[in-house]
Each structure stands twice: as structure tokens, then as C-alpha cells.
Amino acid sequence: MIQLLNVSIFLISNGRTLIDGISFTLNPGDRTVIIGEEGNGKSTLLKLIADPALISDHAEYVGIVSRGKHRLGYLPQELTEAERSVPVKDFLAADGDEVWRAESFAAKTGLDPSILYEERPMSTLSGGERVKLRLVKLLLSEPDMLLLDEPTNDIDLDTLVWLEGFINRFEGGVLFVSHDETLIENTATSVIHLEHVHHKKVARHTVANVPYREYIENRERAFSHQAQVSKFEHDEFRKKEERWREIYEKVDTAQRNISRQDPSTGRLLKKKMHSVQSQGRRLEKEREELTEAPVSEWQIDIDLPAVSLPRRKEILRFSCEGLYSPDGARLTAGFELNVDAAEHIAIIGRNGIGKTTLLKLIEAELAPRRDIKLFSMPQNYFELLNGYETPVDFLAPTGDKDAVTRARTYLGSVRFTKDEAESRIDRLSGGQKAKLLFVRMALEGYNVLLLDEPTRNFSPLSNPVIRSILKDFGGCIIAVTHDRRFISQVCERAVKLTENGLAEVDPLFPAG
């Protein structure tokens, strides 16, 4: 088993506590998900367990990390710079029986095994193809404990379904980070929740040996109960405080108005004031013991503007003779896509089939239109963001005082601290960059949204809020996504891009 005892992790740069005194055990057969907002230490915790040297450049820790004699299989979020330049055929370095096993694993992930022999560098593969190849390499090492950091990023629906089955069948322990709620609900038997609360100054954690959905339901009930208790106690306390203040003011007024010729009454009033002041001190102590209102870092208090478009207004009539890869290879046959104004439509399909390419072509078609207000959210946020700017600069480029104030208010509504609002964008987490673009949508009143994997960097706790906001959006949404919950809850239409073109699919069952 893997065991952590009273482990705390601190950032070297500023000494901030990232994780405070966590203890848990991962046994063979356990499937434990780590959840929390970006920057809360999920990846750092996985790295520490895999190899403390992986965090030595930015963090240090105290406590005990016991790995036993297990063969750990660690899947980081990204390839290293060196790995990105390695030819695909050399990435696995498989020989002998491993070649057959590699081809078998590749086929199970949905990859064409012939990709294993390609000369091109790993960096030229799609995000999904890279994830799949890295999973194949991990499996070749025959680990008995898996540490997976965002294995669901960039993989298509078919591979997500395969990954769920693989995690559930794996006989060893699996500790993983994911933003995909459906996968988490279908696999996780226990939850580690990392949080930073009170303006991100306090690190706290919860270890719950229950399935994810049960944890969320228990948490919501506990939050609701705590909120009710807190409100009742604070309401009752205010009544006590008001009664005490009335008594204090009466005694104080009487003392100020007492005549020197009435010393007996003066002594009584002085004694009474001592009693009232003692009661005031008891009230201050009682205030400290009141139940606090529940605090959660994932709360998002923002809405998109109320926009509306005529339901039958045609937003898009797109005709395409086929999609092609950058090297000229034909990806799909020709097709048409027609979208009405208030439609929310999901575009799905396997990795590398050209979904992002299609979204870019749609953007080029819609951008010149003057009867709509278009916003496009890319997978690579730096297509829109300047890493050297601050979030306030991005949202209020003119520097106008009112615009800056409005930007700060909106950033606060998605839980940016003052320091984060004034820090460089390239220092923000992926989730914070996604929130920044979401704030831009809310500020500008767009009525047509093109979204490329919009939920990929939001946490499982933030995602339900984001979905609810987008579901209620009165304009048009065209989204490339692999998020099954997003497809079923936000979109009334789904189309699948294949080698044969586009095909309508049921948004409630997009994986078939």
C-alpha cells in the first residue's frame, strides 16, 4: 500500500502552505480521485508520491510518504520538452514481445497501431494521440499502482469509455486527478478534496472513503445544514446584542444625567454599568463561538448577459468539401452544417479528425457578420491572452477607472484574489485562465459563442455552475467537446465528425 502520514507541502517561493497535514492510504483495488481548484496542490501531491525530486524546484514537504515495494506508474499532465522532440517510433522504445503488447494497448485506446512506427516527433500529434501513447508506454512498464494526472485531458469519447473500464478493472490502486465528472462518478470509490479558503490563505483537505457522488451529496447537505445553523445563531445573537446595547445606552445616559446630590443612585448605576460591561464581554466571547457560514472556494457568482436571438434566425449555413490535415491528408468527406440562432450544439469526434479545424473555419465564416456579436474561446488560451498582461489589463484595456472597477468586481465573483487580479496572466493556472475568458464573455454581451473544449480546465465542483450558466444562455453556442455531462445538459443537438462527414447523434448518449 501507499501511505501518507501528516504530510504538509510548502511553496519555496513564499512559504505558503499548499497542503496541511494530510494522511491517507491507497490500497490495491482502491480508486481514489483528487479534486480541487487549480493551484491547490493536486499535481504536486501526485509528484511527491511518485518521486520527491519532482517537486524539489518549487516545494518542500514534511511528514512520511511510504511507497512500499510497489511498481509505480506515474502519468504527468504533459510531455517534457525532451519527449516532445522524440520521434513517435522511438517514444515507446519497445522491442520483442513488447511490440505486440504495445500494438494491442494502442488498439484498445482507439489508436491505429501503425502510429507506433511513424518518424514524426511527438509534438506533432494531437493532444489526444499524445495522451494515448503515454498511456501505452505506462502500461508496458506493468505498474501495480497508478498515479494519473489528468489522463482525460484531450481524449475522445471512445477513449474515455475505455479508460473508465481500464481503471475499474485495474487490480492495483489508482490515484488520479480528473475534471471529467462522468469518469469520476463511474470509477472513484473514494475522494481526496484539496481546498484553499479564506481568500486562499488557509489550506484544508477532506479524505472521504465514499464514492464521488455520495461525497458531493453529503457535502451539499452539510453545507446546507451549517448555513441554516449559522444563520439562526447569528440572528439570535444580533437580538441579544441589540437588547444589550439598549440596556447599555440607558445606563450610560442615566449615569451622565445623575445629579451630584444623589450619590446613592450614582453608586447603583456604577454597579449596574459594571454588570452590563461584563455581559458585553461575555457576548464577545459568545460571538467567537458562533457557527461560521460555510466557506467554499469553488463558488462562482456570475451570469452571462441576458441576450436573445430570433429562434428561427439562421446563424450558420456551412458547406465544406472535406477537411484536411496540415500535411494535406484528407480527414473527412464533404458535409453541411446548419445552425439556428438559439441552438446549443456540440461537435464531437475522435482525436485528430479535424474538430478544431472545423471550428476555426466556422469562426472565419461568422467573423465578418455585423448582425451578431461573436466570441471564440480556443483550446490554447494564449491565442487571446497576452501572458505579460494582468487580468485587469485584459478586461479593461483602456484603463478607464469605471472599467477597471467593473473588471475587479467581476474577477472577485469568480474568486480571484487582489494579487491574482494584478499578477501576470502567464502565472495563472489553466482553470484561472478559463475563468478569465468566461468573465470576458459576461462583460461584453456576446450572443454567439464558439467554444473549443470549454470545460476542460474547470474543476468537477466548478463545472456544474459553468454548465448551468451556459445552459441558460439565450444565444447560440457551437462547442467542440468530449465532456459528456456538458453535451447532455447544455446542448440540445450533437453532431459527430467522422471520415464520412457529419452525422447527428443523441446528445444524451453521445458515446453510443
Q: What is the mean pLDDT of residues 255-266?
A: 76
pLDDT at 479: 96
Neighbours of 460 (CB within 10 A): 25
Where residue 349 falls (left for φ over 0; alpha for ψ -120 to 50; beta otherwise) is left
Rounded to whole angstroms, the Cα distance separating 203 from 39 reads 11
pLDDT at 233 over 80: yes
306-345 pLDDT per residue, tens: 887 776 788 999 999 999 887 788 999 999 999 988 899 9
367-413 pLDDT per residue, tens: 999 888 999 999 888 889 998 999 999 999 888 888 999 999 988 88
190-208 pLDDT per residue, tens: 999 998 877 777 899 999 9
pLDDT at 108: 81
Fold of 314-505: Rossmann fold (3.40.50)
SS3 82: helix
**Among the CATH numbers 3.40.190.10, 1.10.10.10, 3.40.50.300, 3.40.50.10490, which is that of 2-212?**
3.40.50.300
Banded model confidence at residue 299, pLDDT cuts 50, 70, 90: low
8-66 pLDDT per residue, tens: 999 888 888 999 999 999 999 999 999 988 778 899 999 999 999 999 988 999 999 99
pLDDT at 9: 95
Compare 77 and 149 and report the one with higher pLDDT: 149
Q: What is the mean pLDDT of residues 342-367?
A: 92
Q: What is the mean pLDDT of residues 242-259?
A: 85
SS3 19: strand
**Edge-to-edge strands of the sheet including 2-11?**
17-26, 2-11, 59-66
Banded model confidence at residue 237, pLDDT cuts 50, 70, 90: confident
pLDDT at 220: 84
**Residue 199 DSSP one-character state:** T
Rounded to whole angstroms, the Cα distance separating 286 from 216 reads 32
How high is the mean pLDDT of the chain? 88
| Amino acid in the structure at residue 189 | T
Banded model confidence at residue 183, pLDDT cuts 50, 70, 90: very high
Do the Cβ atoms of 356 and 452 come closer than 8 Å?
yes
Max CA pair span of the chain:
111
Residue with cell 498515479: 147
Considering only 86-90, 238-242, 291-295, 458-462, which range has the smallest mean pLDDT? 291-295
Instruction: Please state whether beta strands 335-340 and 314-320 pair in parallel, antiparallel, or not at all (unpaired).
Output: antiparallel
- C-alpha 254 chain-centroid distance: 60
pLDDT at 512 over 70: no
For the stretch 390-429, what's the b/e string if a residue is b when 16 or more beta carbons lie within 10 angstroms of its beta carbon? Answer: bbbbbbbeeeeeeebeebbebbebbbbeeebbebebeebe
Q: What is the mean pLDDT of residues 120-136?
A: 84
**Residue 428 DSSP one-character state:** S
Do the Cβ atoms of 157 and 511 come closer than 8 Å?
yes
pLDDT at 319: 92
pLDDT at 296: 63
Q: What is the mean pLDDT of residues 216-224?
A: 85
